[in-house]
Chains A and B, each alone.
Chain A
Amino acid sequence: MVADGTVSAAPIETDAIIIGAGPIGLFAVFELGLVDIKAHVIDILGKPGGQCAELYPEKPIYDIPGLPIVTGQGLTDALMAQIKPFGATFHLGQRVDALQKMDDGRFQVVTDAGTHFLAKMVVIAAGGGSFTPKRPPLAGIEAYEGTSIFYSVRRMDDFKDSDVLVVGGGDSALDWTLNLQPIANNLTLLHRRDDFRGAPHSVEQMRALVRDKKIALLIGQMAALEGNNGALTAVTIKTKDGDVRHPCNRLLPFFGLTMKLGPVANWGLNLQENLVPVDTEKFETSTPGIFAIGDINWYPGKLKLILSGFHEAALMSQAAHRIVYPGKKLLFQYTTSSSSLQKKLGVS
């Protein structure tokens, strides 16, 4: 839903919505595609791959059947190539906020960007929940969030003529330092060490701004916040020479992302310890037509493994076919030998 509570005028009508572009949401595109179900995929991250791409892109996975070793990013890239023939539409950088059943039996899905969908069925592949920025554990920080403290920049204007403190050592911190410097009244970059993980080119640009005295670079860590009524006035910074009080009225902390269940909790589904219970035949939730696969679901014996999620996607798709094509019989076929499947895959 957009800020004023309205939704986009013309909904996108589709067979299936997949919530979450992690490895399991991606493979669901494949399995649904084989049974002629077209999907739109939505993820809050700006890229596909879920945990694999966000948390461990360069680390090896050893238990994907048939792939003795593959990195998180490698698996994501391979899945993207594998699902390409099915032409799913991706809506990245959007969080699904609302999911509800309509009177005509279809499901309405609305994102925080106001994109509005109507689908015959929904697959929740939300993994460990939506990726959300990590909140520094500083006393009273909640009071400033959205007024003085931001975890992302939605409107540059919020920082115009402000005294900005950017905290972190990765690409987000560097990029926003470079982008906000021209419009801020003054800008300081704070990092715990004089060594940055971000792209070398951005580090160089940042260093040049420091040399030209256009920004300040501070080495230290945040220790306390000061202000009132949501208006930040200063941050206490621990440095190796002792505590420093740094006046500022905008703070942008970049400490990476963590997974929080998020809106999934508000969709009227049965939940069990933040997981969505499903049956093990169709992987359907307590609401018929809404399926849950991958790390987000629970059933007796559940293992949070990628390979288990792949299996769940295959069985889910059989049930999905009955919803999207009621009365149509589904033939069991192999991709190796079925010319109709190969046609869908674009290999024959």
Chain B
Amino acid sequence: MPRITFIQPDGTEQVVEGQVGATVMETARQHMIEGIEAECGGACACATCHVYVDEAWREKVGGPSEMEEDMLDFAFDVRPVSRLSCQIKVTADLDGLVVRVPEKQF
């Protein structure tokens, strides 16, 4: 199963196993990763599942869709590596993925 590392703003790292087909947000919620609130349950309607994709993974993960880019307007401290984790599907290719949890969700 693909392993995903979540890094908290204070540097704490948590490595968890994700399921292919689930989203990175769902993986985070399942493992109770702090700071991924996901108020809308993954509908790309709240922007409280914001993460920063590690630079090394940026290309493989890809950029946001137009709808996600619009929703990112509602996130705080958006960067070029910002994604909404409910819009990233876990695939075998993403084994080893590293994402950072932002300091604050809106």
- C-alpha gap A223/B76 in the complex (Å): 9
Q: Indicate if the CB atoms of A197 and B45 lie closer than 8 Å.
A: no
Tell me if A247 counts as interface (CB < 8 A to partner B).
no
Interface size class of A (residues with CB under 8 A): 20 to 34
- Prevailing SS type, chain B contact patch: loop
Contact A134 B78 (CB under 8 A): no
Which residue of chain A is the closest to B102 with respect to CB atoms? A137
Residue of A136, A168, A238, A258 near B73 (CB, 8 A) is A168
On chain A, the residues within 8 Å of B40 by CB distance are 55-56
B9 → A minimal CB distance (Å): 12
B106 and A136 contacting across the interface, CB-CB below 8 Å: yes
- Indicate with 1 or 0, residue by residue over B71-87, a CB within 8 angstroms of chain A CB atoms: 01110111000000000
Decide if A170 is an interface residue (CB 8 Å cutoff): yes
Closest to A256 in B: B74
Residues of B within 8 A of A195 (CB): 69
Query: In the bound complex, do residue B73 and residue A55 qualify as a contact, i.e. CB atoms below 8 Å apart?
Result: no
* Contact status B106-A169, CB under 8 Å: no
User: Please, how many angstroms separate the alpha-carbon atoms of A192 and B69 in the complex?
Assistant: 11
A221 at the interface (CB under 8 A from B): yes
Q: Which residues of A contact B (CB under 8 A)?
A: 55-56, 59, 134, 136-137, 168-170, 191-193, 195, 197, 221, 223, 238, 255-256, 258
Query: In the bound complex, how far is the Cα of B46 from the Cα of A23, in angstroms?
Result: 19
Contact between B45 and A59 (Cβ–Cβ < 8 Å)? yes
- Are A169 and B73 closer than 8 Å at their CB atoms? yes
A174 CB → nearest B CB, Å? 12
The one of B45, B69, B76, B105 in contact with A55, judged by C-beta atoms closer than 8 angstroms, is: B45
Residues of B within 8 A of A223 (CB): 77
Q: How many angstroms between the C-alpha atoms of A68 and B104 in the bound complex?
A: 38
- Shortest B77–chain A CB gap in Å is 6
Q: Which residues of A contact B69 (CB under 8 A)?
A: 193, 195
Residue on B with the closest CB to A223? B77
- Tell me, yes or no, whether B70 is within 8 Å of chain A by CB: yes
In Å, the complex CA distance between A291 and B40 comes to 26
B interface residues, how many (CB within 8 angstroms): 17
**Dominant secondary structure at the A interface:** loop
CA distance A134 to B47 in the complex (A): 11
Chain A to chain B contacts (Cβ below 8 Å), 7 pairs: A56-B43, A170-B73, A193-B73, A221-B76, A221-B78, A258-B39, A258-B46
The residues of B that contact A255 with a CB separation of less than 8 Å are: 73-74, 106
Q: Provide the residues of chain B in CB contact with A168, threshold 8 Å.
A: 73
| A221 and B73 within 8 A (CB) | no
- In the complex, which residues of chain A have a beta carbon less than 8 angstroms from the beta carbon of B104? 137
How far apart sit A134 and B73, CA to CA, in the bound complex (Å)?
12
Q: Are B39 and A192 in contact (CB under 8 A)?
A: no
Whether A137 and B106, one on each chain, are in contact in the complex, defined by CB atoms closer than 8 angstroms, is: yes
A196 and chain B: residue at smallest CB distance:
B73
Q: Which residues of chain B (9-66) have a CB below 8 Å from chain A?
A: 39-40, 43, 45-47
Q: Which residues of A contact B46 (CB under 8 A)?
A: 55, 258
B106 touches A134 (CB 8 A): yes
Q: Are B78 and A197 in contact (CB under 8 A)?
A: no
Q: Among the interface residues B43, B73, B106, which one has the most CB atoms of the partner chain A within 10 A? A: B73
Q: How far apart sit A255 and B104, CA to CA, in the bound complex (Å)? A: 14
Min CB distance B41 to A, Å, is 10
B76 near A197 (CB under 8 angstroms)? Answer: no
* Whole-angstrom CA separation of A238 from B76 in the bound complex: 12
For the complex, give the distance between the alpha carbons of A38 and B74 in Å. 39
CA distance A221 to B69 in the complex (A): 15
* Nearest-CB residue, chain A, relative to B82: A192
Rounded to whole angstroms, the CA-CA distance of A192 and B71 in the bound complex is 12
Interface contact A59-B43, CB-CB below 8 Å: yes
